[in-house]
Amino acid sequence: MNRTEAPPVKIADHINIPHTEEMVLSNGIKVYGIPNDQGVIKVDFVFDAGKWFEPKNLVADFANKLMREGTKQKSSLAINEILDFYGCNLEEQSYFSNAGFQLYSLSRNIHQVLPLMKEMLTEAAFPESEFELLRSNRKEKHLQRLAKNDYLANRLFLSNMWGKTHPYGRVTELENFDEMLVADVHDFFYQHYHAGNCFIILAGEYTDATIKQIDALFGAADWKKQPSTSILHQRSMGQELIIHQEKENAVQTSLMVGNATITKTHPDFDELTIVNTLFGGYFGSRLMANIREEKGYTYGVYSSLSAYQHGAIFEVSADVGKEHKDATFHEIKKEMQRLQTELVDEEELQTVKNYMSGRILRSVDGALRYADVLKGLLLFDREPESINSYLNAIQTIDAKRIQTLAEQYLQFDSMYKVSVG
């Protein structure tokens, strides 16, 4: 045995997806259960209630954050004291198209806190004082962010790619904080956080009694359904592909390159994530090897492929010395062209395959982790078995297919190039 050589890596070619129990509450809410016996439980309430649906900027986020800040019966302090007493954690999440709440608890205590969750969802009071406090805090954070190059670059990047009236491109302006009323937040919450707009994921150790309590609370007729909301937004692209905002005395420049690209429902999407990983999606990527390790222009340069319900974005971002801005853009373009003109060698491609396969395996290791994966599948109407389809795409893609995808989707000259600094 040669102990100086690492053993060969063997990646599973098939994953046993954790078992999911599907249930329907008395009022029609779908519940997905992922059981285990580890003594903890996560209850995830998911709603169509993100930025896509808001009538005014910031309203969706404020509605999500303020639910826990007081009900008709309890103050914010009382709510947090109950959660702390039972060792629970409640996390708010608000995205472009969906929003919700994740409640973490010891399994033996979940029956004590589920009634509080029902109370917050059906009797949230949105106290004026809590609204004003959040508005003041968020306004201060916004002013701080406006001094940061990467925040300014991201604003320019998205608003030009999607248009300033599109939810994906609409940026926060200082006056938005003052234009919003607590009544706007209250109305948005009760229009979107309701029984007809929700599904629930249970992950962890639960019993039949847990399910019965959830049905009694969240399947009850008193949690009303509201008419469904369908909203279309038109994209309005900026004509200028090269945008620079100069900042006096700036030492660094934040830059971004990218475009709107194919969505998760497109047959090429899964394979395109492999191209992205190879190009700039992990620490061992080509961008990192070139721009960080070889050129020393930055501590980090990454690409990402982000999918949403109504679109997707490919982007490259980096903070570089101001004197390296043009050279960095040049190297990004060069690496795109290299993928289009040279076949990836087998060892480099296999390293990416191993990395991505390992991430998939870790994502389904345990009920609580898999719950997040399942939520993503449900939001995009994908079956759990699509995980194995994705794993197969990773393991079977070859260098020629990588080259074809790069030629089709990584066209630097048609992408937005934004820099601030």
**Is 225 domain-assigned?**
no
Contact 398, 340 (CB under 8 A): no
d(CA 141, CA 148): 11
> If you average pLDDT over every residue of the chain, what do you get?
94
71: confidence class by pLDDT, cuts 50, 70, 90: very high
Helices (H) and strands (E) in the chain, counts: 15, 11
Residue 2 has pLDDT above 70, yes or no: no
Q: How far apart are CA 192 and CA 188, in angstroms?
A: 6
* Euclidean distance between CA atoms 118 and 282, whole angstroms: 41
- Please, are residues 390 and 376 in contact by the beta-carbon 8 Å criterion? no
Check pLDDT > 80 for residue 378: yes
Q: Which residue among 166, 186, 218 closes a domain?
A: 218
Q: Which residues are 255's β-sheet partners?
A: 318, 419
How many domains in the chain?
A: 2
The pLDDT tens digits of the residues spanning 113-171 come to 999 999 999 999 999 999 999 999 999 999 999 999 999 999 999 999 999 999 999 99
What is the structure's pLDDT at 376? 95
Residues 198, 110: Cα–Cα separation, whole Å? 20
The strand pairing partners of 321, in sequence order, are 252
- In-domain check, residue 325: yes
Query: In the prediction, which pLDDT does 263 show?
Result: 95
pLDDT surpasses 70 at 294: yes
**pLDDT value at 410 more than 80:** yes
The per-residue pLDDT for 101 is 97
H/E element, 332: helix 325-341
Sort strands 416-420 and 242-245 into parallel, antiparallel or unpaired: parallel
Q: What is the pLDDT of residues 252-279, one digit of tens each?
A: 999 999 999 999 999 999 999 999 999 9
Same domain, 206 and 246: no
Statement to judge: residues 54 and 151 lie in one domain:
yes
**Which amino acid type is present at position 99?**
A
Asked if the structure places residue 8 within a domain, the reply is no
Domain boundary among 218, 251, 281: 218
Instruction: Say whether both 117 and 197 belong to one domain.
Output: yes
Q: Which of 68-77, 141-150, 218-227, 285-294 has the lowest mean pLDDT?
A: 218-227
pLDDT greater than 60 at residue 308 = yes
For residues 45 and 82, membership in a common domain is answered with yes
CATH no. for residue 101?
A: 3.30.830.10
Are 262 and 382 in a shared domain? yes
32 & 111 share domain: yes
Task: Give the mean model confidence (pLDDT) for residues 69-95.
Answer: 96
Q: Which amino acid is at 24?
A: V
What is the C-alpha to C-alpha distance for residues 17 and 4, in angstroms, rounded to an integer? 36
Whether residues 34 and 153 fall in one domain: yes
**Which pLDDT does position 142 carry in this prediction?**
97
The 3 state secondary structure assigned to 73-126 is CCEHHHHHHHHHHCCCEEEEEECCCCEEEEEEEEHHHHHHHHHHHHHHHHHECC
370 shares its domain with 300? yes
Shared domain for 187 and 261, answered yes or no, is no
Asked if 40 and 105 touch (Cβ cutoff 8 Å), the reply is yes
57-83 in b/e form (b: 16+ CB < 10 A) is bbbbbbbbbbbbbbbeebebeebeeeb
Q: Which domain holds residue 380?
A: 242-420
Q: Are residues 116 and 197 in the same domain?
A: yes
Task: Determine, yes or no, domain membership for 342.
Answer: yes
Query: Which sign does the torsion angle of CA 163, 169, 175, 181 carry?
Result: positive
Q: Is the pLDDT of residue 208 over 90?
A: yes
On whether both 256 and 368 belong to a single domain, the answer is yes
Confidence of residue 4 (pLDDT cuts 50, 70, 90): low
251 plus 189 within the same structural domain: no
Q: Does some domain include residue 366? A: yes
Q: Does 263 map to a domain?
A: yes
What are the tens digits of pLDDT across the range 20-67?
A: 999 999 999 999 999 999 999 999 999 999 999 999 999 999 999 999
